[in-house]
A and B are shown apart, each in its own frame.
Chain A
Amino acid sequence: MIRDITIGQYYPADSILHRLDPRVKISCTLLYLISLFLFKSVLGYVIAGCFLAGVIWLSKVPVKFIVKGLKPIVMLLMITVIFNLFLTNEGDVLVKVWIFKITEGGLRTAVFMAIRLVFLIAGSTIMTLTTTPNALTDGIEKLLRPLNKIHVPVHEIAMMMSIALRFIPILLEETDKIMKAQIARGADLESGNIIQKAKNMIPILVPLFVSAFRRANDLAMAMEARCYRGGDGRTKMKPLVYHSRDYLSYTVMAAYLVVVVGIGRYVPFHLWIF
């Protein structure tokens, strides 16, 4: 279960998406996420979905991988859907059981919210799957560089992020191992109420933290041994340079935004088919 989380994992392949400048991917992902909240008509969702599908197809990442990345948010999705379903009071009442009632508006918000969340996660997953964390950090570092002037340690933040990303799979594997080891010693992780379950996690979290600190210590030593001394005077193996494909992507993104916003604004809300 724990290995299913694909956020922060890179899927090596040779696609146009992999070759894009990380700055393009970061800003476009951000714009895409914002765009999801700019329309309300069903057509908007269709276009956003098609755009996402096109990007996934271009990325050559198996759809299976992205679906796997969605699994961990199923719970969150359910909660959002249920809350929206029962707490929105809008339009005709469709079903009514005791004090619970489902209204048309509630159903609509719930379904749309779920789709939005799925698009949101899939959109950001596709970015991390096609961008190596190092490239990602390089992109963030470059995008945030202006903040250096107000003494924000941009390079350090970027480096910390890239290391965190690198260690996610390692620590997940370790969690898996510790869980198995504790189960083998009779730890009960399944039964009891929520509080008991949380308490049962202690024998997993404590060794995990200890090991994470030990790893951090080792890694810091290894980095120093390889002459790491912060961002000053450092050169780049893969410096960021915009190519024509990057400008093209920006153009495509702009076109998508115009279409989606246009639809959100001008296509009337009641073109709603259900």
Chain B
Amino acid sequence: MRMIQTEKLVYEYEKRDEEGNIIGSHRAINAVDVHVEPGEFVAILGHNGSGKSTLAKHMNAILTPTEGTMWVNGRDTKEPDNLWEVRQSAGMVFQNPDNQIIGTVVEEDVGFGPENLGVPTEEIWKRVEKSLEAVGMIEYRHHSPNKLSGGQKQRVAIAGVVAMEPKCIVLDEPTAMLDPNGRKEVLRAVEELRRREKVTVILITHYMEEVVDADRVIVMDQGNVVMEGTPREIFSRVEELKKYRLDVPQVTLLAYELQQRGLPLSNGILKTEELVKELCQLH
């Protein structure tokens, strides 16, 4: 069974004039077919307004499709009876860390999800401990979230989702509001989670550097899936990416430019070490 699967998924926003009358609609997602296998790390890339966040919100049944179907863990998100199961199996981390932390103490916030699920008290404590450890925030368990840095807050938010023991975690631009250090922290936490919990990760972002470790990259533009493949495949198509207003990582761009000038380098170099190695082998 696939973790996530969509079939001809369409989502339309209603456009309204000042009196609230519907004057038309805007297609945020246009007949998209995507699927994610259990345990996979999939990155969804796209510029502002590409529909990537709208797609993410479907995975948690915050939005339901206008047309087409979305299955999460084999369950149709349109069925109201499936709602809570869908939300439990696909946890969601949002962009703004301040607006998704409910508790006033770190551990109470992490316990919020399991409390809602009706998990017995002792089990909640075990889960809270385990998830805070997984994101490396255990020593902050008694702190107030207001005094944490952006990266730390976001890690708490991730722990809050992990404590619900989802099969899949959807991260909707988790690093967009963070400084470079915070960004690294969050990505390291996600990596650690994948290693420990073998959880499926769907990362929505517009930072290309964040997707080099993904198993698969999906590029969206204006509501359509326009590219799909391994990071190496995607990043070797520099010109095409530029068309969708996405910047390739600096190393990849440098390697690409060098290649254009006639240096025999391989396609889609993702990391600095790779480029160094290839350059050293040239002579």
Contact = CB atoms under 8 A, between A and B. Distances in A.
Interface in B113-155: 113-121, 124-125, 128, 142-144, 146
A10 B98 contact: no
A165 interface: yes
Contacts of A236: 115, 121
B115 A218 contact: no
A224 B87 contact: yes
B279 interface: no
B88 interface: yes
B121 A134 contact: no
A134 B124 CA distance: 16
Given A225-B91, A227-B87, A235 B100 contact: no
A237 B142 CA distance: 14
Contacts of A270: none
B92 interface: yes
Interface string A184-227: 00000000000000000000000000000001001101111111
B121 A219 contact: no
Given A12-B143, A134-B108, A225-B62, A235 B120 contact: yes
A221 B119 CA distance: 21
A151 interface: no
Interface string B196-235: 0000000000000000000000000000000000000000
B105 A215 contact: no
A134 B103 contact: yes
A24 B103 CA distance: 21
Contacts of B103: 134, 166
Given A170-B146, A227-B113, A238 B102 contact: no
Nearest to A227: B116
Contacts, number: 97
Q: How large is the interface on B (under 10, 10 to 19, 20 to 34, 35 or more residues)?
A: 35 or more
Nearest to B94: A222
A133 B105 CA distance: 9
B102 A166 contact: yes
The secondary-structure label for the interface of chain B is helix
Contact of B118 (A215, A235, A238): A235
A229 B80 CA distance: 13
Contact of A224 (B62, B91, B161, B164): B62
Nearest to A9: B144
Contacts of A132: 104-105, 108
A169 interface: yes
B114 A133 contact: no
B112 interface: yes
A96 interface: no
B146 A227 contact: no
Interface string B245-256: 000000000000
B102 A223 contact: yes
Contacts of A133: 104
Nearest to A136: B104
Contact of B164 (A219, A226, A238): A226
Given A226-B160, A227-B113, A237-B107, 18 more contacts: A12-B142, A132-B105, A133-B104, A134-B103, A134-B104, A163-B102, A166-B101, A170-B98, A218-B99, A226-B113, A227-B116, A227-B117, A229-B84, A233-B118, A235-B115, A235-B119, A237-B121, A238-B108
Ranked 4 nearest A-B pairs via Cβ: A237-B111, A222-B100, A218-B99, A227-B116
Interface of A: 10, 12, 132-134, 162-163, 165-166, 169-170, 215, 218-219, 221-229, 233-239
12 contacts: A170-B146, A219-B102, A222-B102, A224-B87, A225-B91, A226-B91, A226-B102, A226-B116, A226-B160, A229-B116, A235-B115, A238-B108
